[in-house]
Amino acid sequence: MSDLTTKTAAEIAALVAGGETSAVEVTQAHLDRIAAVDDQVHAFLHVDTEGALAAARAVDERRAAGEPLGPLAGVPVAVKDVLATKGVPTTVGSKILEGWRPPYDATIVERLRAAGTVMLGKTNMDEFAMGSSTEYSAYGPTRNPWDLNRIPGGSGGGSSAALAAYEAPLAIGSDTGGSIRQPGAVTGTVGAKPTYGGTSRYGLVAFSSSLDTPGPCARTVLDAALLHEAIGGHDPRDSTSIPQPVPDVVAAAKLGATGDLTGVKLGIVTEFAGEGAEPGVLAVFREAVDALTKLGAEIVEVSCPHFTYALPAYYLIAPSECSSNLARFDGVRFGLRVGDDGSRSLEEVMSLTREAGFGPEVKRRIMLGTYALSSGYYDAYYGQAQKVRTLITRDFTAAFEQVDALISPTTPFVAFPIGARTSDPYQMYLADLFTIPTNLYGGPGISVPCGLSDGLPVGLQVMAPTMADDRMYRVAAALESAVGTFTPPAL
C-alpha cells in the first residue's frame, strides 16, 4: 500500500498544494491500489483511468500556472453509480441501464470537478439504491474490507468499502433510508446524510424523490465536512434545493476536534437504545456515550414515540415514489431494450425490457408502490404513511426543543455474512431501523465509527435539526478525537 493512499483528503490536498506531491502521483497511487485489491473488494463498477489522470494533470497544470486551488484540489474521489456522469457509464447497479453513458453531469459531479477533485470511477450499489448490503447489485456484491465474507452495507456499499480498502480517500453516496450512514457504520468509515435539500439531487437517478439525499463519505469527520462543503449549497436546477448557504460544517468539525463538548446537550433516543439492537452494538454504543460525557456533553434520554412506525411508513412512501420514478425505464430512449425484433408490439417490448432489466428487489418495491398508490388504497397506505411522516417530524421538532442533537447506534447490527438476509426482505429492511426516521424528517445525520464489536466496526449516529448540519459534525469530530479511527486488517 502506497503511503499516499493512507492519507486523509485534507493531508493529500495540503501535499498537492505545497508541491510535495502531484495530483497525478496521488491519482496513480489510488489507481494502483484499485488494481491491486478491487478484485477482492469489488467496490468499483467502472474505473475511469484516463479521465482521472486527465483531471489530475489539469490540477497540476493549474498549480504550475500559479492559479488558486480549492481545498480539495488533487484529491481522488469515488462516486456512487447513482449520479449521472457525462460520457462515463452510469448503471445505478442495474442491468436496465447497462451501457448508458449520460449526456450530462449531475450538479454534484460538476461541483466535484470545479473543486479540482479527481473522479476515480463509479462505485457499486444495490440496484437503484434499494438494499442494505450491496447484494442486490446486478453486477455482484461488494465485500467488506474488514471481512471479505461479510457485506459492506448498502445501498452505498461500494463507496464505503472503497474508503475502508484505501482505494479512495473520499466518496460520494446517496442516502434514502440510511444508504450512506449504514455502510459507513459497518465499514468503520464516516458517512453523512446532509439536510434534505442541502445537496442537489439534479443528476441523481431517483429512487424516492422526497427522501434521496446525496452526501459525503470519508475516513475522517473533517474530510467528510470538506467534501460536504464542496458539493453542498443551492442548485436552481433542483426545486427542492434549499436557497441558503451550507452551514459551516468544516469549522464545526475543527471545533469538535478540540474534544470539548461542554454545554452541548445530547439526547439518546429511548426507542433505539434498548431492544432491536445486538448486545455487542449496544455495549459499544454505551461506551461511546460515556466518552461523550467525558468530553463535557450532557446526556439525557428523549422519547420519540413515533419512530417505531418509521420503517413501515418508509416502506410505503419510498416504494410509491419509486414505482413512478422507475416508470421511465422502458427501453424507448436509453439503456436496455429487449424483444425489439419487429414481431412484438411496443407494449410487449416495454414489458420484456422491464422484466429482464429489473432485479427482484426492485420489482418487489415497484409492485408495493403501485399497490399503495392505487385508487381505493391510496388513503389507507400512502396517505396514512404521510401522516406518520408528519408525526415523526413533530417528534424531532419536540426533541430538538430539549436537546441540541440526538444520538443512537447507526445500525442495529454489525456487518452480517453475505447471503444471511437476502431470503427475508424484512430482516434486510431492519438494517435501516435507526437511520430511516431522519430521512422522513429531512434533517441531517452522520455515522461516525465508535468502536469494534467482535472485531467489526460499530457506528454512532448523530441526528441534528434541519440546516444544523454543523452541529452533528461537531459532535462526531469530538467523538472521533476521543475514540480514534479504525483500520481494517490488511488485504
Partner 1 sequence: MTTTLPSYDDVVARYEPVIGLETHVELGTRTKMFCGCPTDFGGEPNTRVCPVCLGLPGSLPVVNKAAVEATIRIGLALNCSIADWCRFARKNYFYPDMPKNFQISQYDEPLCVDGYLDVEVNGETVRIGIERVHMEEDTGKTLHVGGATGRIHGATESLVDYNRAGIPLVEIVTKPIPGTGELAPEVARAYVTELRDVIRSLGVSDVRMEEGSLRCDVNTSLNLPGQEWGTRTETKNVNSLRSVERAVRSEMLRQASVLDAGGRITQETRHFQEDTGDTRPGRSKETATDYRYFPEPDLVPIAPDPAWVAELKAALPELPRVHRRRLQEQWGLSDLDMQSVLNAGAVELIEQTVAAGATPAAARKWWLGELSRRANETGVELVDVGATPEQVAELQGLVDAGKLNDKLARTVLEGVVAGEGSPTEVMTSRNLEVVSDTGALTAAVDEAIAANPDIADKIRSGKVAAAGALVGAVMKTTRGQADAKTVRELILARLGA
Q: Which residues are catalytic?
A: 80, 155, 179
Q: Are 323 and 316 in contact (CB under 8 A)?
A: no
179/208 with CB nearer partner 1: 208
Q: What is the DSSP string of 257-294?
A: TTT--TT-EEEEEGGGTSTTS-HHHHHHHHHHHHHHHH
Which stretch, 184-192, 225-233, 324-332, 357-365, contacts partner 1 (CB under 8 A)? 324-332
| Rounded Cα–Cα distance for residues 406 and 463 (Å) | 5
| Rounded Cα–Cα distance for residues 360 and 127 (Å) | 10
Q: Which residue is associated with the grid cell 415497484? A: 366
Binder among 54, 64, 101, 104 for partner 1 (CB under 8 A): 104
358 touches partner 1 (CB under 8 A): no
Closest distance between partner 1 and the C-beta of residue 212, in Å?
Answer: 9
3-state secondary structure of 317: helix
375 touches partner 1 (CB under 8 A): yes
Closest distance between partner 1 and the C-beta of residue 346, in Å?
Answer: 6
Task: Give the distance between the most distant pair of CA atoms in the chain.
Answer: 73
243/263 with CB nearer partner 1: 243
Binder among 177, 203, 247, 449 for partner 1 (CB under 8 A): 203
* 71-to-17, 165, 328 alpha-carbon distances in Å: 9, 24, 38
Q: Are 146 and 199 in contact (CB under 8 A)?
A: no
Which stretch, 68-76, 131-139, 199-207, 430-438, contacts partner 1 (CB under 8 A)? 199-207
Binder among 204, 225, 297, 456 for partner 1 (CB under 8 A): 204
92 touches partner 1 (CB under 8 A): yes
| Rounded Cα–Cα distance for residues 139 and 277 (Å) | 30
Cα-based torsion angle of the residue sequence 193, 196, 199, 202 in order, rounded to the nearest 10 degrees: 120
**3-state SS of the chain: helix, strand, coil percent to 5?**
45, 15, 40
Closest distance between partner 1 and the C-beta of residue 118, in Å?
Answer: 22
The residue type found at 196 is: Y
3-state secondary structure of 147: strand
201 touches partner 1 (CB under 8 A): yes
Which stretch, 63-71, 94-102, 387-395, 417-425, contacts partner 1 (CB under 8 A)? 94-102
367 touches partner 1 (CB under 8 A): no
Binding mask 381-410 for partner 1 (x = CB under 8 A): -x----------------------------
Span between the terminal Cα atoms of the chain, in Å: 10
Closest distance between partner 1 and the C-beta of residue 302, in Å?
Answer: 29
380 touches partner 1 (CB under 8 A): no
With vertex at residue 412, the alpha carbon angle to CA 408 and CA 413, rounded to the nearest 5 degrees, is 130
Q: For residue 25, what are the contacts with CB-CB under 8 A and spacing of at least 6?
A: 4
By CB under 8 A, what part of segment 215-244 binds partner 1?
236-240
Binder among 309, 329, 396, 434 for partner 1 (CB under 8 A): 329
Of the candidates 234, 208, 411, the residue with the CA atom closest to the CA atom of residue 313:
208
Q: Are 167 and 38 in contact (CB under 8 A)?
A: yes
373/433 with CB nearer partner 1: 373
Binder among 210, 393, 427, 485 for partner 1 (CB under 8 A): 210
| Rounded Cα–Cα distance for residues 101 and 85 (Å) | 7
105/469 with CB nearer partner 1: 105
423 touches partner 1 (CB under 8 A): no
Closest distance between partner 1 and the C-beta of residue 267, in Å?
Answer: 29
Closest distance between partner 1 and the C-beta of residue 210, in Å?
Answer: 4
448 touches partner 1 (CB under 8 A): no
Binder among 15, 30, 100, 177 for partner 1 (CB under 8 A): 100
Q: Are 134 and 40 in contact (CB under 8 A)?
A: no
Binder among 126, 229, 271, 321 for partner 1 (CB under 8 A): 321
265/364 with CB nearer partner 1: 364
**Chain positions contacting partner 1, by CB under 8 A:** 83-84, 90, 92, 97, 100, 102-104, 106, 201-206, 208-210, 236-240, 320-321, 323-324, 327-330, 332-334, 342, 346-347, 350, 370, 373-375, 378, 382
